[in-house]
A and B are shown apart, each in its own frame.
Chain A
Amino acid sequence: MEAAVNTVRHEHGEGHTHSESFIRRYIFSTDHKMIAKQFMITAIIFLFIGGAFALFIRWQLAYPGEPIPVIGTMLPSTWVNADGAVTAEWYTQLLTMHGTIMIFAVIIPLLVGTFGNFAIPLMIGADDMAFPVLNMVSFWLFPLASIIMMAGFFVEGGMAAAGWTGYAPLSVIASLGQTLWIVALFLIGFSSILGAVNYITTVLNMRAPGMKMFDLPMTVWSVFITAIIIIIGTPVLAAALSMLFMDNFLQTSFFMPENLTVTGRDMSRTAGGGQPLLWQHLFWFYSHPAVYIMILPGMGVVSDVLATFSRKPLYGYMAMVFAIIAIAFLGILVWGHHMFQSGMNPLLGTTFMVSTMVIAVPSAIKTFNWLGTMWRGQMEFTTPMLNAVAFVSMFVIGGLSGIFMASTPVDVFIHDTYFIVGHIHYVLFGGSLFAVFAGLYYWFPKMSGRMYNERLGKWHFWMTFITFNGTFFPMHILGVGGMMRRIYDPTVYDFLKPFQPMNEFITINAMILGFVQFILVFNFAYSWFYGKKAKRNPWRANSLEWQAPSPPPHGNFDKEVRVYRGPYEFSSPESVQDYLPQNVSPEELAAQWTRHEQRRAQQKSEP
């Protein structure tokens, strides 16, 4: 075995210093760090596109029928009417594409694509992923899919408009834009699966010598568990999308009931006999676990950030690992809670209600352990730490409002209202996106080799935090007041008219929220080239990525890495400083103590 093992060396086995062409280095790169940056830049571009869509939606809700300021009249006539106001058709496309882009092209690529790729090999002491070429393919499928999805802009009938959930039969009878949406999601799913295969193999097979599974930082654990969810869930979405494609493109009847008539569409070839609820089951079998795909890596990143900046060991490391596993396991079983009002046996509804509420237990374990980590710590409120604390608090609000929806009787009243819009944004923006910000600021020195501007970082955080709450908190009130989730013009209903000032308040907040994100882009773009040079370990953290040079070269580590302990040895009485990196050997530690004692003795002897 030994002889055979050594023959399958990576091409870059020795001597990482050879020069590469521009294309190999920046475009078709197989280096995990470059792929992480590619994911990051692509996803941030989509963050702004998806954000712009949200602002168009908000404009229409606050000022129905009024022209979009500045750019209204410049937009094509299929999107806006003669005055420059959003048309109802475009509004439906906007809300569909806002959801799809933010989930599949922003949050998942940022959390799983960027942090998974960047952090895993560095944190486990490997020189790259197990399958670098597969990793490159996994990235390039993503822009390809995005282009296919955005091509819907230019086809007849516009983009997909059946909601991000693409419920049949609406999505079956829709135009070409919907077909492109199906193909694009299929490709993104394939990219996810290839990435997940890579992550799982890398974590299982390529840990540094001495590193046990329970020496892994939480970021690696969470992405590893996320990858397992992707392996279980995403293929089912791919199967469902294949069937939806058949229905949409070849007029089969997987999801089409009998005798359905649609105005202006020839249904003669549609035989019927299908089941629209089947789509919902298959879709949510993936898309509920996808909620955990979008939050678990955030939890991992935040755990690492909180421990580092509280200068304390992560409270209850084993409990945190098992809580993630429990959330993942339960998360796969509870998809039916999205369908309480779709026509479900009440008994089945109760089952899904109870299993959903059980998830509160591991989530609470995590929340209390985060509080325990911060409790009486030497907290340093850097930008990543502020974002991490915001994650914890916003995730609690999002989690608690989730319990309202999980209770079937309450859900009868609040489903499909702005309450659920508020809830999902507290989890996906307040949760995932704040975790993304925390991670981006935290690893920026390692990625770029330079420090970001702390003052701008804090401005970005506080502006985002305040306007985020100003935007999404009132939505809970709107929802309880009865405002429908996908409504085009709330002023047509008398009972919603009193809410109009609140809608305007939300829109103003949302606009500020959108524009302050340029601070982040400016900060990163400027600091990437002109920031202060970063040291190897600017945060005095323990995990292995901080033992590599900043930025790490192709092949990552400039010295042999061996692991002796877990990643959270902060303020340990064993160590000389208040941190003890994973790769410091007992001999080296003893030498550090000897030097320390000598220094102390010297200081004493010199009056």
Chain B
Amino acid sequence: MSTATTTTSRFNTGIYHGKLGMWVFLASEIMFFAGFFGAFIVLRDLNIEVFTASAHQLDKVVATINTAVLIGSSLTMALSHLALERGNEAKFRLFLTITIVCAFAFLGIKSYEYASKFSQDIYPWTNTFFATYFTMTGFHALHVIGGIIPMVWMLGKSLVKGYPQSMHHRVEALGLYWHFVDLVWIFLFPTLYLIF
């Protein structure tokens, strides 16, 4: 390194702070959802009939569409990072926009699912299955919202004064987070909708 005195520009591991910190943060996120999955296992074991009957009330078709939307957004997120790394900002904007649209679509479909449950008089306090269902998918949806905010900020910055290619590592760190959100859903989808 040319400037040994400024340690903020030093990376002992060869990985950017943002990327390394994001990996550590994602480790804690795994443990956060592990708490819910642990509770799910215990409660399912205690109330297997209730869980089976309630899980069949969920809409598998809508959830499958939602899964496809979210996995698609993961792909476009990766492509937008790749585009920025190669210096193609127009493509970066395009793929980032698609990612944001997919994220909103996911939330829209999720709200539709929630609304249809509420209309059938099904709420979190109906039984332990729906308590876990609403809590887990609710926290997942909060994570989706938490991803949309920096995406919109990056897109806005890119439109207003351009997003510098040299800051592509920030997009990469956000991408890591977004893939994690996707991955959580990939675990939630079979656990809540398919295994019963």
Contact = CB atoms under 8 A, between A and B. Distances in A.
Given A246-B124, A254-B128, A205 B12 contact: yes
A216 B121 CA distance: 59
Contacts of B4: 209, 560, 562
Given A254-B128, A273-B50, A201 B17 contact: yes
Interface in A218-232: 230-232
Given A239-B36, A562-B4, 4 more contacts: A131-B21, A209-B4, A242-B36, A271-B126
Contacts of A557: 5
Nearest to A7: B166
Nearest to B17: A130
19 contacts: A1-B14, A8-B166, A9-B9, A126-B7, A126-B10, A130-B20, A197-B24, A205-B12, A205-B13, A205-B17, A209-B4, A209-B10, A234-B28, A235-B30, A239-B36, A240-B35, A242-B36, A246-B124, A278-B42
B119 interface: no
Contacts of B33: 239
Interface in B38-56: 38-39, 42-43, 46-47, 50
A204 B12 CA distance: 7
A127 to B, nearest CB: 5
Contacts of B17: 130-131, 201, 205
B8 to A, nearest CB: 4
Size band of the interface chain A makes with B: 35 or more
B10 A271 contact: no
Nearest to B131: A252
B104 interface: no
A9 B46 contact: no
Contact of A274 (B2, B15, B128, B166): B128
B6 interface: yes
B88 interface: no
B153 interface: no
B29 A206 contact: no
A193 B24 CA distance: 10
Contacts of B31: 231-236
A193 B28 contact: yes
Contact of B127 (A246, A271, A285, A562): A271
Given A4-B166, A197-B24, A9 B6 contact: yes
Contacts of A562: 4
A193 B29 CA distance: 10
B168 to A, nearest CB: 8
A354 interface: no
A236 B32 contact: yes
A238 interface: yes
Contact of A205 (B2, B3, B20, B135): B20
A275 B47 CA distance: 10
B112 interface: no
A287 to B, nearest CB: 13
A125 B39 contact: no
Contacts of A254: 39, 43, 128, 131-132
Given A231-B27, A271-B125, A5 B11 contact: yes
Interface in A264-309: 269-271, 273-275, 278, 281-282, 285
Nearest to B35: A239
A209 B3 CA distance: 11
B21 A198 contact: yes
A54 to B, nearest CB: 31
A119 interface: no
Contacts of B9: 5-6, 8-10, 13
A200 interface: yes
B39 A278 contact: yes
A242 B131 CA distance: 11
Given A4-B169, A14-B6, A253-B131, A235 B24 contact: no
A436 interface: no
Q: Which of B3, B7, B16, B32 has the most CB of A within 10 A?
A: B7
A-B residue pairs, 10 tightest by C-beta: A239-B35, A10-B8, A235-B32, A252-B131, A235-B31, A126-B7, A130-B17, A236-B35, A201-B21, A273-B128
Interface residues of B, number: 51
B157 to A, nearest CB: 16
Interface of A: 1-10, 13-14, 121, 125-128, 130-131, 134, 193, 196-198, 200-201, 204-209, 230-240, 242-243, 246, 250-254, 269-271, 273-275, 278, 281-282, 285, 557, 560, 562
B101 to A, nearest CB: 29
B196 interface: no
B7 A127 contact: yes
B166 to A, nearest CB: 4
Interface in B143-190: 164, 166-167, 169
Nearest to A257: B46
Contact of B3 (A13, A131, A240, A271): A13
A231 B6 contact: no
Nearest to A121: B7
Nearest to B139: A242
B135 to A, nearest CB: 6
A472 to B, nearest CB: 34
B13 A204 contact: yes
Nearest to B27: A231
A174 to B, nearest CB: 17
B24 to A, nearest CB: 5
A238 B125 contact: no
Contacts of A236: 31-32, 34-35, 38
A265 B20 CA distance: 49
Given A198-B21, A205-B17, A253-B125, A274 B11 contact: no
Contacts of B50: 273
Nearest to B15: A205
Nearest to A241: B35
Nearest to A286: B35
Contact of A201 (B10, B20, B43, B47): B20
B1 interface: yes
Contact of A13 (B1, B6, B139): B6
B122 to A, nearest CB: 12
A270 B125 contact: yes
A564 B3 CA distance: 19
B118 interface: no
Q: Which of A239, A246, A253 has the most CB of B within 10 A?
A: A239
A237 B127 CA distance: 23
